[in-house]
Amino acid sequence: MSIVNITVPDIGNVDNVTVIEVQVAPGDTIKKEQSLVTLESDKASMEIPSPSAGVVKEVKVKVGDKIKQNDLILTLEQADQTTSQALPKTEPEATQVSSTANVQVIRIPDIGNVDKVDVIEVPIKVGQSIKKNQTLAVLESDKASMEIPSPIEGIVHDIAIKVGDKVAQDSVICSLTSQEQKPEAKPEQKIEPKPEPKPQPIAEPTSEAKPVSNDSIYASPGVRRLARELNIDLKTIAPTGEKGRITKDDLNNFIKNRMQSTGASMGVEPMPVVDFSQFGPIEFQELSRIKKLSAKFLHRNWVSIPHVTQFDEVDITDLEEFRQQNKSKFEERGVKLTPLVFLMKASVAALKAFPTFNSSLQGDQLVIKHYYHIGVAVDTPNGLVVPVVRDVNLKGFMELAEELKTLSTKARAGQLTAKEMQGSTFTISSLGGIGGSAFTPIINAPDVAILGASKTHMAPVYQNGTFVPRLMLPLSLSYDHRVIDGAQGAHFITYLGEMLGDMRQMLL
The CA-CA-CA angle for residues 150, 153, 154, to 5°, reads: 105
Q: Beta strands 466-480 and 457-463: pairing type?
A: antiparallel
Q: Pick the catalytic residue: 299, 307, 481, 491?
A: 481
Candidates 328, 108, 135, 140; CA nearest to 223 is 140
Mean pLDDT across 485-493: 96
Which CA distances in Å does 345 have to 340, 418, 495, 507? 9, 24, 13, 11
Torsion angle, alpha carbons of 413, 418, 423, 424, to 10: 30
Prediction pTM value: 0.51
Residue 1 has pLDDT above 50, yes or no: yes
pLDDT greater at residue 13 or residue 248: 248
CB 442 within 8 A of CB 299: no
* Average pLDDT, integer, range 486-492: 96
pLDDT at residue 210, as a whole number: 37
- Mean pLDDT of all residues belonging to the chain: 81
Mean pLDDT of 448-454: 97
Task: Check pLDDT > 80 for residue 473.
Answer: yes
Q: How would you classify the pairing of strands 374-376 and 426-430?
A: parallel
Cβ contacts of residue 418 below 8 Å, gap of 6+?
A: none
Contact between residue 294 and residue 429 where contact means Cβ atoms under 8 Å apart: no
Please check the confidence at residue 98 and state whether its pLDDT lies above 50: no
Q: Are 382 and 290 in contact (CB under 8 A)?
A: yes
Distance CA 315, CA 498 (A): 9
Convert 393-411 to b/e letters by CB count within 10 Å (16 or more is b): eebebeebbbbbbebbebb
Burial of 482 (0-12, 13-18, 19+ CB in 10 A): exposed
Q: pLDDT digit string (tens) for 303-362?
A: 889 999 999 999 999 999 999 999 999 999 999 999 999 999 999 999 999 999 999 999
Active site residue 307: no
pLDDT confidence bin for 391, thresholds 50/70/90? very high
227-279 per-position pLDDT tens digit? 777 778 888 888 887 667 788 788 888 887 776 554 445 556 677 888 899 99
Whether the pLDDT of residue 364 is over 70: the answer is yes
Q: What is the pLDDT of residue 402?
A: 95
What is the reported pLDDT for 269? 67
Q: What is the pLDDT of residue 194?
A: 41
Cα 111 from chain centroid?
29
Q: What pLDDT score was predicted for residue 120?
A: 79
| Residue 299 predicted with pLDDT over 50 | yes
What is the set of domains in the chain, with CATH numbers? 2-79 (2.40.50.100), 91-210 (2.40.50.100), 306-507 (3.30.559.10)
pLDDT in tens, 16-68: 888 877 888 888 888 888 888 878 766 566 778 888 888 898 999 998 889 98
Question: Residues 180-213: pLDDT tens digits?
Answer: 444 443 444 443 444 444 434 433 333 333 333 3
How far apart are the two ends of the chain, measured CA to CA in Å?
92
**What is the percent of the chain where pLDDT is above 90?**
40
CA dist., res. 28 & res. 194, Å (int): 18
Asked if 294 contacts 383 with a C-beta cutoff of 8 angstroms, the reply is yes
